[in-house]
A and B are shown apart, each in its own frame.
Chain A
Amino acid sequence: MSPHGETLTVPGTPAVATAAGSASVAGPASAGATTRRRRARWAPYLFVGPAGLLFLAFSLVPIVIAVALSFQDTATLGEGSWVGADNYRTMLSDPLLRTALLNTLVFTVGTVPTAMAIGLALAVALNRPLPGRGLLRALFFVPMVAAGVVVGVIMSWIFNPDYGVANNALRAVGLEGLPWLTSPRTAMLTLVLVVVWTRIGFCMVIYLGALQSIPSELREAAAIDGASRWQRFRRLTVPMLAPTTSILLILNVVFSLQAFDVIYVMTGGGPGFSTTVLIQYVFRSAFADARMGYAAALGLLLVLILLVFTLLRQRATKKAEELL
């Protein structure tokens, strides 16, 4: 567990204990003490209430509706006919779903480790005193706050093979231009490059926070014990960052599975089906193909993938923490 995690859990406990303790010291409960106790009892629910209501309205209820929808055949969000498990059976024999799943895997494997590795490298570099460090941190973070559609449009221009900056730069140094988005062999790679660029700032900021929470005494002690810079990074920093890495991994995988806007704008899933990913296929099934039931079943498949991944990752993190 990180120092952060422990600190966060500690303050709540004495606060509640104090409130309860003060009531018992007062002897027979006065009206004021009863009110305070009641408030203390309800306070957590009041704090959690708004978020809980939002979760209920915008997550839980839609998931329940989606489950119901996945057993129906309906072109709209209205009346449909019950078809049992037909939508799930269709999934088993849908070649486009297989392509979309494979593309999703390639996209996720391409984006997640790369963005995290570059983010970590940048965090380590920008954790040291450097001139213009604040500006550099901000510059790396800017792509994360840019809207996906805007990024997609700008990148489409940059990677246009005819008048894009990317090919003009290559030609300027005597190289051949590349068919970035126009060939099934390079389109996915181009998308990965763009998405990694948007995400490294986020990884960098999270890692920076974690790096700054590692006590400098540990590094100094390791240095005194003769550990080289690489050994200190490998044997001390990386294990201390494990909980952060775990959270970042889950978040990045979720981001990759949900990556829609950039792909929709830049390639529309093409050329051919080469960049059609699962979330895009869900959208296409729902709105272009008007198969709401099937789209709901595909959406639940996506939820299932995320759940399984999160559980596996949590288990792995727990084991790693036990070993530490």
Chain B
Amino acid sequence: MPTHAVPGRGTAARRLSRRSFLAVAGISVAGALAACSGAPTGTKHLRLSSWNIPLDLESYQALADEFVAAHPGTSVAVEVTTGQFHQWFITRLAADLAPDIIRITPQQIGRYAANGSLVDLTGAVPPEYQDDWSKPFWAIGAKADGLFGVFQHTDNFITYYDRRVIEQIGVDVPQSLDEAWRWDEFLEIAREAQRITGRYGFGYGWGGPETAYRWMPLVYQNGGAFLGEDGETPSMDTDAAVGALDFGRRWYADGLVSPANMSKSGGGAVGRDLFATGQTGLLLDNPEAIAALDEARPDEWGTTYMIRNEGEASDLGGNALAVTRSSKHPELAAELVAFLTSRANVAEFCRRGNWLPARSSLDAADIGYERHEATMQQFIDQATTIPLSMVRAQSGPYFSSLNSVFADYLDLCFLGELSPAECGTQMTEAMRSVTTR
């Protein structure tokens, strides 16, 4: 190196270099810390967190950009909710780093509305909004002490069928909600379907232990309830609830449903996979199945309404938007929630992502789905059968814990480890230990 010609230069250069390095490092760390501290820049920045569904992330960002254009001095970043929801949200709340706005399911919202993690949106959301939501859907965010979220979009369960199988059985497919197959009719058709497929009759659209609640509509279809009228008293030991458990047990005892198709086992959408590969003739599932079936068996399937018994009921899927207590600009965040849940924006979001609107005044034609408009209208019609008492039970403060209990005991009952009556009694007892905690 040329520096060796100058005495002492080498050492000085090394020393200088070390000092320079430390100085640069110090400045960088200080800069990074300043950046992390969120020093005021004049812009009100909001963060919205959503599930990692690419189409939805794009939709939220596009709508948020419109909001920002109308609100100079603001910015909105759309983030992804990662990992297990409760773990992710609780740790961020504890660090006061939760996003301003969160996309949250009806089954998750109750705990956070009750423990002060969400901001009351009363006053920020236009009062006329409530008129365009059904009572059950509004009740997801509306609690006794405030409005803690606005239900943006929903989904639920209807019946998918294999056209070839149904033609061979020679049965007419229900054309309206009041013609929907009753349990005994459905089991007969499922047995025929099993005979034709040579494997199973039908599948159910669970997607892991967290989705055990998707079976709960069956309890309500039989006149039962998960929690009593007060929304807190466990009631899975009633005759109606035990009757529903008995119906579920028969699915497996008679070999109509694969034992791999249960909420706690299977490793994914087993029911959907079996239907897509022709191993079942029927499938009770939500609109998410459409894309998979379009890919695997285009034009080979059709849909009709969800099964029923004494009453009608379907799964409560979908998401609400809520503002978290970590928000530094809760009024602006609430304004964004109101913007995203406006009639036009709900329609746009549902059109892009193939979701069902939470607003009652929107039908499939209003939304303009690109494909399967008739099926999407069936889903929209089916949404009217979701019972208010089931919504209150599922969006209550204990539901995340109760859902684990539900998953555990459904497994034990369906596998034949417990009789339906034993299951009802033990499940109620386990639920009571949660609600009296």
Binding site for B on A (CB under 8 A): 75-78, 152-153, 155-157, 160-163, 179, 181-184, 187, 265-273, 283-284, 286-292
Chain A residue with the shortest CB-CB distance to B437: A291
- Flag if B400 contacts A288 (CB, 8 Å): yes
Question: Given known contacts A78-B94, A270-B265, is B408 in contact with A161 (CB within 8 Å)?
Answer: no
30 contacts between A and B (CB under 8 A): A76-B93, A76-B94, A77-B91, A77-B93, A152-B267, A155-B267, A156-B267, A160-B267, A160-B270, A161-B259, A162-B260, A182-B259, A182-B262, A184-B417, A265-B267, A266-B267, A268-B208, A268-B265, A269-B209, A270-B209, A270-B262, A270-B407, A271-B264, A272-B412, A284-B404, A288-B400, A288-B403, A289-B434, A290-B90, A292-B90
Q: How far, in angstroms, from A287 to B401 measured CA to CA in the complex?
A: 9
Chain A residue with the shortest CB-CB distance to B212: A268
Q: How far, in angstroms, from A284 to B408 measured CA to CA in the complex?
A: 12
Interface residues of B in 254-277 (CB under 8 A from A): 258-260, 262-268, 270, 273-274, 277
> In the complex, how many residue pairs between chain A and chain B have their CB atoms under 8 Å apart?
111
Chain A residue with the shortest CB-CB distance to B401: A289
The interface residues of chain B lying within 8 Å CB-to-CB of A284 are: 404
Confirm or deny: B117 has a beta carbon within 8 angstroms of a beta carbon on chain A: yes
User: A156-B266, A181-B266, A267-B265 given. 19 additional CB < 8 A pairs?
Assistant: A75-B111, A76-B115, A78-B94, A160-B260, A162-B279, A163-B277, A163-B279, A179-B259, A182-B259, A182-B262, A269-B264, A270-B262, A270-B407, A272-B415, A283-B87, A287-B87, A288-B400, A290-B401, A292-B90
The interface residues of chain A lying within 8 Å CB-to-CB of B434 are: 289
The interface residues of chain B lying within 8 Å CB-to-CB of A187 are: 265
Q: How far, in angstroms, from A272 to B423 measured CA to CA in the complex?
A: 11
Confirm or deny: B44 has a beta carbon within 8 angstroms of a beta carbon on chain A: no
- Flag if A268 contacts B407 (CB, 8 Å): yes
The interface residues of chain A lying within 8 Å CB-to-CB of B265 are: 181-182, 187, 267-268, 270-271
Interface residues of B in 30-68 (CB under 8 A from A): none
**Closest Cβ of chain A: how far from B119's Cβ, in Å?**
16
- Flag if B415 contacts A271 (CB, 8 Å): yes
The interface residues of chain A lying within 8 Å CB-to-CB of B84 are: 287
- Flag if B209 contacts A268 (CB, 8 Å): yes
- Flag if B90 contacts A77 (CB, 8 Å): yes
Q: How far, in angstroms, from A283 to B407 measured CA to CA in the complex?
A: 16
Q: How far, in angstroms, from A143 to B264 measured CA to CA in the complex?
A: 25
Confirm or deny: B237 has a beta carbon within 8 angstroms of a beta carbon on chain A: no
- Flag if A183 contacts B264 (CB, 8 Å): no
The interface residues of chain A lying within 8 Å CB-to-CB of B209 are: 268-270
- Flag if B93 contacts A78 (CB, 8 Å): yes
Question: Given known contacts A163-B277, A184-B417, A268-B209, is B270 in contact with A289 (CB within 8 Å)?
Answer: no
- Flag if A268 contacts B264 (CB, 8 Å): yes
Q: How far, in angstroms, from A291 to B90 measured CA to CA in the complex?
A: 12
- Flag if B264 contacts A267 (CB, 8 Å): yes
Q: How far, in angstroms, from A287 to B400 measured CA to CA in the complex?
A: 9
Confirm or deny: B199 has a beta carbon within 8 angstroms of a beta carbon on chain A: yes
**Closest Cβ of chain B: how far from A287's Cβ, in Å?**
4
Confirm or deny: B120 has a beta carbon within 8 angstroms of a beta carbon on chain A: no
Chain A residue with the shortest CB-CB distance to B85: A287
Q: How far, in angstroms, from A266 to B401 measured CA to CA in the complex?
A: 21
- Flag if A76 contacts B259 (CB, 8 Å): no
Chain B residue with the shortest CB-CB distance to A269: B264
Question: Given known contacts A76-B94, A160-B260, A161-B258, is B401 in contact with A288 (CB within 8 Å)?
Answer: yes
- Flag if A183 contacts B415 (CB, 8 Å): yes
Give 1 or 0 for each of B395-437: 1 = CB within 8 Å of chain A CB. 0000011011001100110010100000000000000001001
- Flag if B266 contacts A160 (CB, 8 Å): yes
